[in-house]
Structure 1
Amino acid sequence: MAVVAFVARPAPVEICADLQLGMAQLSPDGLSEQWVLRFCGDQHWALIAKALGQREAVFHAADGRPVYAAFCATSLSLQPSASLLGRDVKVASVLFAVTETRTGSRHRLLVDGAVIAELSMISTFVSHDTQGCNTRIYRNSVLGQMHLPPADPALLALDRQARETARSLRGTVVTRGPEIHVERPVPALDFNAVGLLYFPAFSRIAETAAHAREGSLGPVRKRDVVYLGNLNQGDTVHVFGHGQKMLMTRGDDTPIAVIRTEREDTRA
């Protein structure tokens, strides 16, 4: 099986989408975080397919096994936005080589030329074991080459943050803080087509936990998520919190995500 090779190219791999903002894309505070994550997640996969010369964002190893571009980290910034209903938005997405095994993308959402949201995403290729267990996900590679420009310093910094976070939690007793939320994700709502807990669900659970703990909150202006693992349908997610930082674990205490959230201060 050939390892994906990243070779510098003179022009970036990019996609631009133009659409009108409606109820599906918006929340009471402006852009819907869940919509941005879901839409740009699909754009990330489409960029990888384009870089591999494929029409469909469906990836396989040389032995035919399905391979997925699983996210290692995301960083979303949202600008205060009002009166967006019915406005036209442009989503400009570009793909980069982060390491030999990781790709990164940047997505800028613009209204009238002004950036109202920016999302950085880093993924690596993974596959299930033969039993399809979500707690045993393996790094994998796909057959082909991607000719990509190197990542910029901001994407590289996000990758370092993700790796340092993972290293800090490996083989140590996790300092969890107070447990603020427990839930069992719903398969029809929170899992994706390949049976994994879908990456936007981590942000949704974090927001649910924050409201359970604090009630009324200011809008999210920045959310960084480092994805450390997954869970099987029927498992519970436990959320522990200290200020802006949350740790998510499975029921067996295995960390599955670290989330940092910054909010707009709505106090008078």
Structure 2
Amino acid sequence: MSLQEEVYIAGMPQLSYQGLSENWLLKECGHRHWLGLADLNNQDLPDFYDQSGNKAYAAFTAVKISSKSLANIQENQSFAIHSDVARVGPARYYGQHTITSRSFNCVQVKMLSTFVFRREHRNNQSVTKASFSSEPMEFNGDREFLDEWTAFAKYARRGNWVEHLGINRFYLGSKLSLTYNPCPNSDFNGANFLYFASFQNYIDKAEWEWFRKESIWTLDTRELYYYGNINLGDTLTITLGSAVTTEDELRHWCEVYNNQNIKIADVFTVKRMAKNESSNT
């Protein structure tokens, strides 16, 4: 396992309207996960090639965020991220990132990744799994949780689920949708993929369009399952698969499609009403 901890001071890049920025946190944990892979493979900096010599990148297949309170972290407050990254398959890795401040566990981000490469230059729809040697591995974490999470990721991809996080797949409400044109300067990463954190950003933008009149919501749980990517110039469509709203809680499931109407992600979200906020804030 690879253990790292770093202390930060919350400034404008790290903060959002309601405390620590979920989008910034995903990017930072993704970066730390990437560095953890390098550390586990005895590299000073991450630079991976598979058994056939293909340039390989770690693609996230699932991300789970559990938040006790992003709002607990405010301007100029110190906080730490403790990262634990482990190899759980020939090309698969599991990362767990715990965010603490003033001895309070504010957020936990769990990440599953696998190495991939492009069969065609800059064609993100030609991505396939990379091959690495099956060396012995040691994982001392919660294997039962990991197996259950991996199993649900497969169920989600196949559409083989009925209820998850209090969200029912069979929704009788309006099937809302929004289409976006991702920007190369803010939504794609240095490897020319639509950045995994951009999916969260577009889900929040869609949520703001659909539910802004009801309340300001703060994150409790989010699960993202990734199945594909898009190329520069492609559109991204967010469809509301299901939603449940109560006086103090919002739950929704969104599907993400590319411009060929192929699903490339499922996102499950649970939010609470923000304290001392209303839709008029």
Q: One fold, TM greater than 0.5?
A: yes
Show CA shifts across 1:174-230 (max 9, x none): 999724211110011100111110000000010011111122531122110000110
1:73 paired residue number: 62
2:81 alignment partner, one of 91, 98, 116: 91
Give percent identity, aligned residues only.
25
SS of 2:159's partner is helix
SS of 1:235's partner is coil
1:239 paired residue number: 238
SS of 2:83's partner is strand
Say if 1:175 and 1:129 are closer, same or farther in 2 by CA, change over 3 A. Answer: farther
Q: How many correspondences in the alignment?
A: 253
Deviation at 1:246, TM superposition (A): 0.3
2:99 paired residue number: 109
2:38 paired residue number: 49
Q: Is the 8 A contact 2:92 2:115 kept in 1?
A: yes
Uncovered stretches (5+) of structure 1, i.e. residues with no partner:
1-11
Q: Is the aligned partner of 1:155 residue 2:146? A: yes
1:165 paired residue number: 156
1:8 paired residue number: none
Q: Is the 8 A contact 1:190 1:201 kept in 2?
A: yes
Deviation at 1:265, TM superposition (A): 2.5
Deviation at 1:130, TM superposition (A): 2.9
Show CA shifts across 1:143-171 (max 9, x none): 795854244133332222212212337xx
Show CA shifts across 1:46-82 (max 9, x none): 1111110001012112443210010000001222234
2:183 paired residue number: 186
Over the residues paired in the alignment, what is the CA RMSD in angstroms? 2.3
SS of 2:114's partner is strand
2:2 alignment partner, one of 3, 6, 13: 13
1:123 paired residue number: 113
Deviation at 1:97, TM superposition (A): 3.3
What TM-score do the two structures reach when normalised by structure 2?
0.83
SS of 1:57's partner is coil
What TM-score do the two structures reach when normalised by structure 1?
0.87
2:260 alignment partner, one of 247, 252, 261: 252
* Separation of aligned partners in 2, 1:74 and 1:46: 17
Q: Is the aligned partner of 1:206 residue 2:195? A: no
* Separation of aligned partners in 2, 1:239 and 1:197: 15
Q: Is the aligned partner of 1:221 residue 2:220? A: yes
Q: Is the 8 A contact 2:65 2:107 kept in 1?
A: yes
Q: Which amino acid in structure 1 is aligned with residue 58 of structure 2?
A: A
SS of 2:23's partner is helix
SS of 2:186's partner is helix
Uncovered stretches (5+) of structure 2, i.e. residues with no partner:
161-168, 244-251
Moved more, 68-77 or 88-97: 88-97
SS of 1:188's partner is coil
